[in-house]
A = this chain, B = another copy of it.
Amino acid sequence: MAARLQAIELERRIGAGDARALARAASLVEAQGEAGRQLIANLFPRTGRAAMVGVTGAPGAGKSTLVDQLAKVLRRAGQTVGIIAVDPSSPFTQGAILGDRIRMQDHHQDSGVFIRSMASRGKLGGIAKGTLEMALLMDAAGRDVVLIETVGVGQDEVEVARLADVTVVALTPGQGDDVQAIKAGIMEAADVFAINKADMPGAERLEQEIRAMQSLGSEEQRANAAPVRRVVATEGKGIEELWSVIRAVFEKQGRRGARAETWALRLREMLRDRLLGALPDELVEEHAKRVAARAEDPYEAVEALRLSLAGQG
């Protein structure tokens, strides 16, 4: 009873935009327990207001700096900001290398910027488990813009980007011979291209390459080709212009996060985590032993595990 009253009070304070309440709620969401889920369920009707902007790109593209600069531009315009940085994490280092971000100090005095780092994926798989919940929480807390930063090479990071309303793909000149591959992988996901470090040689050529690739699309794809902008994030150059392009795309295409299509992707993710989370480790290990000993084939094992889950339902 006391717990329920506390929860109601927390929800009320989050709805009122209280930054300390938001921080407490974020910890609940990170813990991935029942309290966090209940909180998000209760806050859910308040969501759907924030503009969710994904920023993705290969390692070295300067995404963190870009996100920080976008946050500064937004703050100057009087908007409140949430930042979710999805980090490739390691059990070896406990994510300490990235956890220790200079950016945290940058916005330290400003309650108008709320930052959380999320570790990408655990043993169960899943796109940065909890990212969606964290974004919904920031939305319910009244943040005007939520910036979601991910490393974008694997298909899963592309999917994270798809959870956003507008996806910005950051590229830099001279990223080596796999850049074609990267561009192929993220071409579909990009709503805006930001060529960062545009003062380096090759920026012009990179822009031409992107436009050449866009020209290969269908007539409809060509008509909706993602705008390309050059920036130098470390110097804050081109960031205001980049933001106005992002906003224009957002206004043109509307809130993708409100669309059923986006929710279908999200529900699949959540279901996957829910299902595999219910599987007892010992049962998996028992079958794994049998398969490793060739006493059972992998399909028999998977079928047995599936039936055990069905039995729980």
Contacts and interface: CB of A to CB of B under 8 A. Distances in A.
A292 B92 contact: no
A258 interface: yes
Contacts of A154: 88, 120-121, 151, 153-157
A180 interface: yes
A33 interface: no
A40 B298 CA distance: 9
A302 B270 contact: yes
B313 A288 contact: no
A153 B40 CA distance: 30
Interface stretch (A9-17, A106-114, A237-245, A279-287): A279-287
Given A45-B294, A120-B155, A125-B156, A184 B267 contact: no
Number of copies: 2
Contacts of A58: 58-59, 153
Contacts of A291: 260, 263, 267
A21 B300 CA distance: 25
A35 B154 CA distance: 29
Contacts of A44: 294, 297-298
A13 B41 CA distance: 57
Residue of A155, A306, A307 with most partner-chain B CB within 10 A: A155
Interface in A209-254: 213, 216-217, 221
10 contacts: A48-B294, A59-B59, A59-B153, A59-B176, A89-B184, A98-B181, A98-B184, A153-B154, A266-B298, A306-B313
Interface of A: 37, 40-41, 44-45, 47-48, 58-62, 87-93, 95, 97-98, 120-121, 123-127, 132, 151, 153-157, 159, 172, 175-182, 184-188, 213, 216-217, 221, 258-272, 274-276, 279, 281, 284-285, 287-289, 291-292, 294, 297-302, 305-307, 309-313
